[in-house]
Structure 1
Amino acid sequence: MTDNSQTGPLMAPPAQPPAVPPPQAEPLVDRQGSAIMLICGASFIFATQDGISRHLGATYSPVFITMVRYWFFTLFVVAICLRQPNGLRMAMRSKRPWLQIARGVILALEIVVTIEAFVRLGLINTHAIFACYPLLISILSGPVLGEKVGWRRWLAVAVGFCGILIVLKPGSGVFSANAALPFLGAVMFAVYGLMTRMVARDDTAIVSFFWTSVIGAITMTIIGIRSWEPIAKADIPWLLTLCACAATAHFMLIKAYEMAEASALQPFSYTQLVWVSIFGVLIFGETLAPNVAIGGLIVVGAGLFTWWRSRQREKAALARS
């Protein structure tokens, strides 16, 4: 299982056998319905996590917040790995350690960048721009993975970036240097996603899950331990809730992807954008401007189209085999 503690829409893990084989007695329809409920619940919790990160980010540095999150998250991952056959010994055996290290570092830094974007731009504007990461994966999958990118996917990418321009609305306050932060985060998360696909060719999901958490914790500790900040008593519950959200949401993801295929669940991860918009308006007093709503819908629609085209290509390949 890969780490989905990123702050944008949830990414499906690599296609790997589930860590614990699901029971066969439960009907397939019921299992998929339960998986959808779990993925939607995880999306809500990740949106809550983003809101708490935005709240804490106004007082503490994103590096400090991310470091504490990774400490707690690593403890959670180690506990999960210990329950698997051969425990940590199996989880540590990566056939592509350097690539695992690179993706772990990139994801940790991406979280720092995105939390900073939350503080500067707000939840809604950040997620509206960050939602372009599936389109960036489509662009990079050709030169990086050698995948063929057809004209339909290129058209979807073009439409998606038109949506980003609508969000940015040149001449408005959003179109500024700060807008580069969520876009940088989206680029970093897209690179992380491509690396995840690459390591999935040789490593199991639980191996990637372990390396992501441990490397992220080491990276953030090296960067952030010198900038340790005293935590106000009023903020301790928020920080603990933030860490608990990460563990709970990841546990729900594990269970969801045990019950149904990742490709069937991926569209439901976009419900996180709905919750983020609600939290931004009701809790943080943000404004859901018409251009942001329209542009965000265009970006999400383009992303869903690229997902649909990938599904069609997979079905066609299976039919030919």
Structure 2
Amino acid sequence: MTEQNNRLGAWLMIGTCFVFALQDGISRHLAETYNVFMVVMIRYWFFASFAIALAARKPGGLRTAMRPRFPLIQIARGVLLAAEVCVMVTAFTLLGLVESHAVFTCYPLLVAALSGPILGEKVGWRRWLAIGVGFAGVLVILQPGVAVFAPAAVVPLVAATMFALYGLLTRYVARGDAASVSFFWTGITGAVVMTAIGVFHWEAMSLPDWGWMAVLCCTAVLGHWLMIRSLEVAEASAVQPFAYFQLVFAAAIGLTVFGEVLKPNVAIGALIVVSAGLFTLWRQRMKARARRAANAPSTHR
């Protein structure tokens, strides 16, 4: 990829983060009034429609998308992501956007830590050190040793773990399934699971909140489209660090719209976690570059 494409990909990823932060703010607003399962269910209906439309436009169409090489793992991915969304939205209602996202930003560290036992990847001592430092930052945020510690603070950590597992399973199925196939199964499986649960929690919604629900569904589709475009025009390793902008945007919405307070321990802990995560991503990119250089054919005059 060219430098220009990576620059475009970075801006697309920043746009993705902004849209997803808006989505989180609207999700918090709706989940504070209505059942989380119903809110996530309706959101998944639109997500599934987008996934079907996207798969239909790819080579082979829906027939190819419906024949994954790893069907059971694809289903597990979809269920895991749907559950993670429910847990994270619940965290928004319990802790707010600022603290929830501050803890959730540790998921790249969890990916690095779990990539060894799940994918068989080698994690060097530098990345293990960064992982340890990052989880020290999580402890700074959670403050497990003080009397005011609330068990609810662990909820976004559970969501981060689930999202890390989802990411690792996505990397695993990528060995045999195209990204469009995985995206299709993510939307379809999530919609089926959430419908099976959400219909039993249906609540009457006011007209203004139906408007917010419509905006929520639009942000879900737009956010995923921007993310797909970002990964199409640029290297994933080049744009991944910009995903941390979601913490910035979500915190801004939490502070200005919902009147949340940025506690010193949350700010310090989030800075530690993000720094450790960026170092881990940098090391991963350096190792990938070294492997490409080692595998490149030598040229002699």
Count of matched residue pairs = 294
Q: Does 1:120 align with 2:114?
A: no
Aligned partner (choices 229, 254, 268) of residue 294 of structure 1? 268
Deviation for aligned residue 1:192: 0.6
Name the structure 2 match of 1:178: 152
Q: Which whole-Å CA distance do the structure 1 matches of 2:113 and 2:227 have between them?
A: 27
Query: What is the one-letter code of the residue matched to 1:252?
Result: L
Tell me the CA shift for residue 80 of structure 1: 1.4
Aligned to 1:12: none
Q: Does the aligned pair in 1 maintain the 2:142–2:154 contact within 8 Å?
A: no
Counterpart in the other structure of 1:111: 85
Cα deviation for residue 172 of structure 1 reads 6.0
Whichever residue aligns with residue 242 of structure 1, its letter is L
What is the aligned partner in structure 1 of residue 75 from structure 2?
101
Which residue identity lines up with residue 125 of structure 1 in the other structure? E
Aligned equivalents of 2:216, 2:267: Cα separation in 1: 27
AA aligned to 1:306 is T
* Uncovered stretches (5+) of structure 1, i.e. residues with no partner: 1-26
Residue of structure 2 equivalent to 1:197: 171
- Greater shift, 28-37 or 179-188, is seen at 28-37
Aligned to 1:23: none
2:284 corresponds to 1:310: yes
Distance, in Å, in 2 between the alignment partners of 1:63 and 1:312 is 41
CA contact (8 A) 2:141 2:269 kept: yes
Q: What is aligned with 1:149?
A: 123
Task: Provide the C-alpha distance between the structure 2 equivalents of 1:34 and 1:78, rounded to a whole number of angstroms.
Answer: 26
The one-letter amino acid of 2:10's match is: I
Q: Structure 1 stretch 160-169 or stretch 208-217: which is displaced more?
A: 160-169
Query: Which sits farther off after the overlay, 161-170 or 273-282?
Result: 161-170
Taking structure 2 as the reference length, the TM-score comes to 0.95
Q: How far apart, CA to CA, are the structure 1 residues paired with 2:4 and 2:108?
A: 29
The corresponding residue for 1:225 is 199
Instruction: Give me the whole-angstrom Cα distance separating, in 2, the residues matched to 1:306 and 1:34.
Output: 23
Match of 1:61 in 2: 35
Query: RMSD of aligned C-alpha atoms?
Result: 1.3
The more displaced of 211-220 and 32-41 is: 32-41
Cα distance in 2 for residues equivalent to 1:28 and 1:120: 43
Paired with 2:242 and 2:270, the residues of 1 have a C-alpha distance of 16
Q: How does 1:206-217 map to 2 (within 5 A)?
A: 206-217=180-191
Distance 2:5 2:121 in 1: 32
Q: Give the fraction of aligned pairs with identical amino acids, expressed as a percent.
A: 52
In structure 1, distance between residues paired with 2:111 and 2:3: 31
Cα separation, 1, equivalents of 2:60 and 2:293:
38
With over 3 angstroms needed to count, the CA separation of the structure-2 counterparts of 1:172 and 1:277, relative to structure 1, is: farther
The alignment status of 1:36 with 2:10, answered yes or no, reads yes
The equivalent residue for 2:299 is none
Q: Deviation digits for residues 126-173 of structure 1, max 9, x if unmatched?
A: 011111111111111111111111111111111001101111223264
Output the CA distance in 1 between the equivalents of 2:49 and 2:175. 26
The answer for the alignment partner of 2:140 in structure 1 is: 166
Which deviations, in whole Å up to 9, do the C-alpha atoms of 1:249-282 show, x marking residues without a partner? 1111122212111111101111111111111110
**How far did residue 34 of structure 1 move?**
2.1
Q: Which amino acid counterpart does residue 112 of structure 1 have in structure 2?
A: C
Partner of 1:272: 246
Q: How far apart are 1:313 and its partner, in Å?
A: 0.9
**TM-score for the superposition, normalised by structure 1:** 0.89
State how 1:230-249 maps to structure 2 within 5 Å. 230-249=204-223
Task: Provide structure 2 residue ranges, at least 5 long, that are not aligned to the other structure.
Answer: 296-301
Residues 172 and 111 from structure 1, CA distance in 2 versus in 1: closer, same or farther, beyond 3 angstroms?
farther
Range with bigger deviation, 111-120 or 230-239: 230-239
Runs of 4+ in 1 over 6 A off after TM superposition: none
Return the offset for 1:31: 2.8
1-side partners of 2:233 and 2:44: how far apart?
27
